[in-house]
Amino acid sequence: MANHLYQNDLPDGLDLGPVVAIDCETMGLNPHRDRLCLIQMSGGDGDCHLVQVNMGQTAAPNLCAMLENPEVLKLFHFGRFDIAALYHTFGAVTAPVYCTKIASKLVRTFTDRHGLKTLLQDMVGVDISKQQQQSDWGAPDLSAAQLDYAASDVLYLHQLRAAFDVLLDREGRTELAQACFDFLPTRAQLDVAGWPDIDIFSH
């Protein structure tokens, strides 16, 4: 396993494959206030590719081409937040997508524990550390511990997706999950546009 850190964008010619796990680190949870600092990605081969984003940066052509590529499935855990952060920063609508948190809520109805750490322990047998979760991601020089933490959020999403695909099929909820995944980029755009807490489908 290796971490590859880049500045501002993915390098020319890098192909992460047809299914890419993605996660983002920001300065906080409000995309209008808290800037995007780091995007970590894995093609499922054990390596992590990380892009550090400069303050005020609004373009990352290679990254955005991958995010918008209809032939590349993007895997997230709580994709709603990451897709919104990427859209707010770069204007790119990430699609198609798969979200393991949504999958968990559709099939793990026996529990309210849908965090990534819990899911990886229960379904993949992997224990990841969350020690660096609230560290300063805006620092110009990220520590090895920060990079390892960021990588751990994407390195196992391919395995987690495979496990959830089995459960979704078993419970007859594959099509429902797909409909949710298809709507997720629109849900993220609604968040950015000012409807984060309003159910527009309610009366």
- 88 within domain boundaries: yes
The tens place of each residue's pLDDT in the chain, 203 residues long, gives: 799 999 999 999 999 999 999 999 999 999 899 999 999 999 999 999 999 999 999 999 999 999 999 999 999 999 999 999 999 999 999 999 999 999 999 999 999 999 999 999 999 999 887 666 678 999 999 999 999 999 999 999 999 999 999 999 999 999 999 999 999 999 999 999 999 999 999 98
* 39: β partners: 24, 51
Dist CA 193 CA 87 (whole Å): 11
For the entire predicted model, the pTM comes to 0.95
Task: Write the pLDDT tens digit of every residue in 2-47.
Answer: 999 999 999 999 999 999 999 999 999 998 999 999 999 999 999 9
Determine, yes or no, domain membership for 119: yes
Quick one: pLDDT at residue 129?
74
Residue 136 lies inside a defined structural domain of this protein: no
Domain containing residue 97: 3-131+142-193
120 by DSSP, 3-state: which? helix
Listed in sequence order, the DSSP H helices in the chain are 61-68, 79-90, 100-107, 116-119, 144-152, 157-170, 174-193
DSSP 8-state assignment for residue 131: T
The total number of structural domains in the chain stands at: 1
Domain assignment present for residue 202? The answer is: no
The DSSP 8-state label assigned to residue 22 in this structure reads E
What's the CATH code of the domain at 173?
A: 3.30.420.10
150 within some domain: yes
